[in-house]
Chain A
Amino acid sequence: MTGALALRLAALALLLAFLFDPAAFAPVFAPLAQHGAPAIYSQASLLDLTVSHLRIVALATAASAVLAITLGILVTRRAGAEFLPLSRAIVNIGQTFPPVAVLAVAAPLVGFGEAPTFIALFVYGLLPIFENTLSGLQQVSPAVMEAARGAGMGPWRRLWEVELPLASPQIFEGVRLSTVIAIGTATIGSTVAAKGLGEVIIAGLLSDNTAFVAQGGLVVGVMAVLIYDAMGAAERLLLRRLGVLAD
């Protein structure tokens, strides 16, 4: 456990060092750059790109989570049950459309930049959260729900104090999954001029500079792994507080 933690801390330190002072790493990437091309992307600050990248991921995933969790709650109510197939169909379509296709459709409608990227990530992130919310809510034991009703809890209280806490491990898992998918997918946003790490990768592809592709890819990959683990740790902490996870 401590070994794994040390590894992650080392990765984090390396990532931060690279983002704050990319030039220091030029010798590492130099062998990948050919014909005297620059080894480090310098058209924009890597740190700025990373922050923009994460910002759009956070915004899109938060929006997906709000809609998907709300939908999941609505269709598990008695009054909303008939909307379950419809909601499922809509959310599934969101996952079926490749984000690139969504970008292609959205860009002419809302213009270039962050807006179409946001839409693509938002739509793509709905399904994991929706399905996990659904299965989390549906697996709450009927005996527990009966006891909650029998004790005189109203529908809101049952949702807030019993169903959501007991479904939260799966809901968190869905959000975590969507976040990681979005971190990777957000790179394509650069094709419609959204600020992000995709810019570095695309610049590398266009100028045949492997060093750019590698540094863009590595930053995205390491970030995805670290954020996935950090969210996992935060999740366990929260679940313990909710009493859902035993110590």
Chain B
Amino acid sequence: MIVIEGATKRYGEATVVDDVSMAVESGSMTVVVGQSGSGKSTLLRMINRLVEPSSGRVTIDGVDVSTVPGPQLRRGIGYVIQGHGLFPHRTVAQNIATVPRLLGWPRDKTRARVEELLALLQLDPKQFASKYPHELSGGEQQRVGVARALAAGPKILLMDEPFGALDPIIRLKAQDDLKALQRRLGATVLLVTHDMDEAFRLGDRIAVLNEGRLQQCGTPAELLLRPATPYVQQLVGSSDRSYRLLALTTAAEAVEAGPAEGLPGIDGGATLREALAEIVWRDAPALAVLAEDGKPLGRLSLQAILARGRPQ
């Protein structure tokens, strides 16, 4: 668990991060949202000591990070930045092997790990290991950046606008892949973005930062239903907050008992937002919710969906 207590960073007169306290649960994904200049990157960089707080402290599993030498601390924390920052003079394999090499892993172990990571990120080791970064597409570079951050098996991954340089179509896929990867590895991820949609897609919890101050840190539903400040309210938006709320629940979670014969089917893992779109499109009164094996779990009516799209 990462605990940030009263973290403050001043540069001369300017206070970039102002008395921020929050906690990030182990194995969860927390997204810090804010505009540029909100101090979100600075906050993130305090965790791996790329920035030293002016006051306050950060602990990881109870250990104050200021007691660990910076380079040693950073070798144990994955770090992914916007525009990936791959070493242009190193091959993909050498890039990924950066931290294992710093840690002095044996060559065989490093090589095996590199192949494992390439496969994990859906990059064919035979094809990609010996390529140079400039030979890769933006999406591939981004994945290599993630692989490099994961190389030594860190429990914590810090990501600073990791998808900022990707075009929108690849970005959605990259977000889904990251979420799946995080679940699979059980890693603690702290991700910084200015994109509220990205925050809602990815975050188990979302922290909103404005002008260096933490506005609210809570689950996506909490932000939508009980915004703590007018700034949060404005940020989550009133025009599509119902849709955002619907997107937080899956069809399987909202399923009702009852006959489902003859109704259009929907996958249990689909969100209620997708279910609503399906109902509108098919002009059906309800949907049959299907398990992964195709068996019906029950039904999902329009009323049930709509009821979930407003405060209860």
Which A residue sits closest to B73, measured CB to CB? A152
Which B residue sits closest to A245, measured CB to CB? B89
Give the distance in Å from the alpha carbon of A150 to the alpha carbon of B102 in the complex: 12
Q: Of B74-82, B210-218, B293-301, which binds chain A?
A: B74-82
Which A residue sits closest to B74, measured CB to CB? A152
Interface bits A31-66 vs B (CB < 8 Å: 1, else 0): 000000000000000000000000000000000000
Residue from the set B48, B75, B98, B99 with the largest chain A CB neighbour count within 10 Å: B98
Which B residue sits closest to A142, measured CB to CB? B85
Task: Decide if A143 touches B98 in the complex (CB within 8 Å).
Answer: no
Which B residue sits closest to A246, measured CB to CB? B132
Among A150, A166, A242, A243, point to the contact of B48 (Cβ < 8 A).
A150
Give the distance in Å from the alpha carbon of A143 to the alpha carbon of B141 in the complex: 13
Q: Is B84 an interface residue (CB 8 A)?
A: yes
Q: How many inter-chain residue pairs (CB < 8 Å) link A and B? A: 69
Task: Decide if B79 touches A246 in the complex (CB within 8 Å).
Answer: no
Task: Decide if A146 touches B81 in the complex (CB within 8 Å).
Answer: yes
- Determine how close the nearest CB of chain A comes to the CB of B133; give it in whole angstroms: 10
Among A143, A150, A246, point to the contact of B50 (Cβ < 8 A).
A150
- Give the number of chain A interface residues (Cβ < 8 Å): 21
Q: Is A9 an interface residue (CB 8 A)?
A: no
Q: Give the residues from 65 to 121 in chain B that come closer than 8 angstroms, CB to CB, to chain A.
A: 70-76, 79, 81-91, 94, 98-99, 102
List, in ascending order, chain A residues with CB within 8 A of B132's CB: 243, 246
Q: Is A148 an interface residue (CB 8 A)?
A: yes
Task: Decide if B75 touches A144 in the complex (CB within 8 Å).
Answer: no
Task: Decide if A154 touches B91 in the complex (CB within 8 Å).
Answer: no
Task: Decide if A166 touches B88 in the complex (CB within 8 Å).
Answer: yes
Give the distance in Å from the alpha carbon of A143 to the alpha carbon of B86 in the complex: 8
Interface SS of chain A: helix
- Give the number of chain B interface residues (Cβ < 8 Å): 30
- Determine how close the nearest CB of chain A comes to the CB of B172; give it in whole angstroms: 23
Q: Is A244 an interface residue (CB 8 A)?
A: yes
Q: Is B310 an interface residue (CB 8 A)?
A: no
Q: Give the residues from 224 to 247 in chain A that come closer than 8 angstroms, CB to CB, to chain B.
A: 242-244, 246
Task: Decide if A154 touches B71 in the complex (CB within 8 Å).
Answer: yes
Task: Decide if A149 touches B50 in the complex (CB within 8 Å).
Answer: yes
List, in ascending order, chain B residues with CB within 8 A of A146's CB: 50, 81, 85
Q: Is B134 an interface residue (CB 8 A)?
A: yes
List, in ascending order, chain A residues with CB within 8 A of B145's CB: 147
Interface bits A160-195 vs B (CB < 8 Å: 1, else 0): 001001100000000000000000000000000000
Knowing that A146-B50, A150-B48, A243-B94 touch, tell me 15 more A-B residue pairs with CB under 8 angstroms. Answer: A143-B84, A146-B81, A147-B85, A147-B145, A147-B148, A148-B87, A149-B50, A149-B74, A150-B81, A150-B158, A151-B102, A152-B73, A152-B74, A153-B102, A166-B88
The 4 closest A-B pairs by CB, nearest first: A147-B85, A152-B75, A150-B79, A152-B74
Interface residues in chain B, defined as those with a beta carbon under 8 Å from any beta carbon in chain A = 48, 50, 70-76, 79, 81-91, 94, 98-99, 102, 132, 134, 145, 148, 158
Interface residues in chain A, defined as those with a beta carbon under 8 Å from any beta carbon in chain B = 141, 143-154, 157, 162, 165-166, 242-244, 246
